[in-house]
Structure 1
Amino acid sequence: MKKILSIMLLCLAYLFSNAQHFELTEKGLVSLKDKDAKFIVIEKEGKSQKELYDQIKNFIMSSFVSPKDVISENGTDMITLNGVSNGDVECKKGFVMLPFKTNYTIVFMFKDGKIRINIPTINKMTSESTTLGGDLSGLYELTLTKDDPVSTGREQIVVFKKDGKTTKGAKESIEKLFNTLIDKAINFTSTAKEEW
């Protein structure tokens, strides 16, 4: 009986460890709680505005190769993250899963005890494929629908097809990218205070 209870607790802990904040629709990412909302609010009781600002800034500084190139700040009120993710988004093309470079923007705002996170904006998702010999064989752009614009010279791959289905892997990997990124940011703890 104790084993079954332990297994159930582990399963619940796993389910709640990766909170789901966003869902992908044909119009972009939306809040799971309110599909019309322009932002979500994360409650962080007992934390000051400055502490929450420092938490998100430290997360960005420790998570990105060149943080100064992806961060814009407005005092301790707001941080804008203009990030690029390589390969976290992928979808099926033919017999392979193509990895995409995803350019996105997320705005964080801070008050005592609260972090406001504007719904992330996906600016562009692009990919290249090569032959076994290393030659370029295709340029691709992943868009949400067929009506979305595509860069010149790139073949369009859509997430949401006209028949209501989605391209394999695309929707799930986009949601996972942003939900995981936000979860890591809001739960980040700095290791700067560790003795070494």
Structure 2
Amino acid sequence: MDTAIAASSPYDQPLHSSFPSFSGKVNIKRGLCTHVERSLSEEKNSTLKTLKMMNIKKALSMAILLLVAQLSFAQYFKLTQNGFVSNDNSDFTVVDVPNVKQKDLYKNVLNAINTLYKNPQKGLSVVEGESISITAYEEEVLPIKLSSGLGKAIRKYDLSYKLTFLFKDGKIRINSPDFEAKRYVEGSYRGASGWSGDEWVTLRMKKVGKSKLYLFEDNGKVRFEDAYTGLNNHFNSLIKQIIDKSGTINNW
């Protein structure tokens, strides 16, 4: 920004007037630019520090949320080539419920199942006061992204499964879920092969024959991450719902 001195007319001033010389103007401009650059640099540094702090806070918040989610989500079972196993690789897990009698644990879980399922009696099998088994079927609850003639497409699989609970004083034993994931495929025209018939397609845990629809390679590598994650989440969440509900069923 130039410094100006007011005058009635520039033509009234002698050649040796007090107007700053051209070099003076350059020096003033240079000084002002240096000041502006310094201010911009300081502002930039301040902004960067603020952004860094925001990123740190954001990362910390995400870490806290993840920790809370992990703590609040019980991992009863994990899926393997041989089906679900507990964290110690057993075919069952045990939930401790201190100071609650066997008959009360049985009654509470039974009431929880009756609350969470529609018409559970159709698939319910019990040994009074000792064990409960629920056989259920859920439609299109497992989405899997699969290759098709036009790229990738989401296919939704039905789940049929069986959950079994056994009881002792202060303990609930949960057997690993027994399940099958399948979907109904209508017949289609396959060129030289002609028309294919309608059929049920099942997601296997291991490769069977020439089928390409299986979840685990021989070395244990997962082929469909969305199916693997979906199955783990579905059954662990379902068991957690039943256990949580059984603990509050009489609190009214």
Indicate whether the TM-score tops 0.5.
yes
Is 1:128 the equivalent of 2:218? no
Gaps of 5+ in 1: 149-154
Give the counterpart of 1:116 among 165, 173, 190.
173
CA contact (8 A) 2:222 2:228 kept: no
2:120–2:134 Cα contact (<8 Å) kept: no
Contact conserved, 2:93 with 2:173, CA < 8 A, in 1? yes
What is the number of equivalent residue pairs in this alignment? Answer: 178
> Partner of 2:191 in structure 1?
none
CA contact (8 A) 1:109 1:117 kept: yes
- Name the amino acid aligned to 1:181: L
Q: SS of the counterpart of 1:157?
A: coil
5+ residue gaps, structure 2, are 1-56, 188-196
Name the counterpart of 2:77. 22
SS at match of 1:144: coil
Query: Counterpart in 2 of 1:105?
Result: 162
| Alignment partners' CA distance in 2, 1:109 and 1:67 | 18
- Structure with more relative contact order (C-alpha pairs < 8 Å, separation 6 or more): 1
User: 2:244 corresponds to which letter in structure 1?
Assistant: N
2:123 to 70, 91, 105: 70
Which has the larger strand fraction?
Answer: 1
Q: Which amino acid aligns with 1:99?
A: K
Task: Say which one has the larger Rg.
Answer: 2
Please give the secondary structure, in 2, of the residue aligned with 1:40. Answer: strand
Taking only aligned residues, the RMSD between alpha carbons, in angstroms, comes to 2.8
Partner of 2:25: none
- Counterpart-to-counterpart distance in 1, 2:94 and 2:249: 25
Could you tell me how far apart the structure 1 residues matched to 2:120 and 2:212 are?
31
- Normalising by structure 1, what TM-score? 0.78
Q: Percent identity?
A: 25
- Higher-helix-fraction structure: 2
Give, as a single letter, the amino acid of the residue that structure 1 aligns with 2:202: E
1:84 to 133, 137, 145: 137
Please give the alpha-carbon distance, in whole angstroms, between the structure 1 residues aligned to 2:116 and 2:186. Answer: 29
Residue 20 of structure 1 aligns to a residue whose secondary structure is coil
Alignment of 1:168-179 (within 5 A): 168-179=225-236
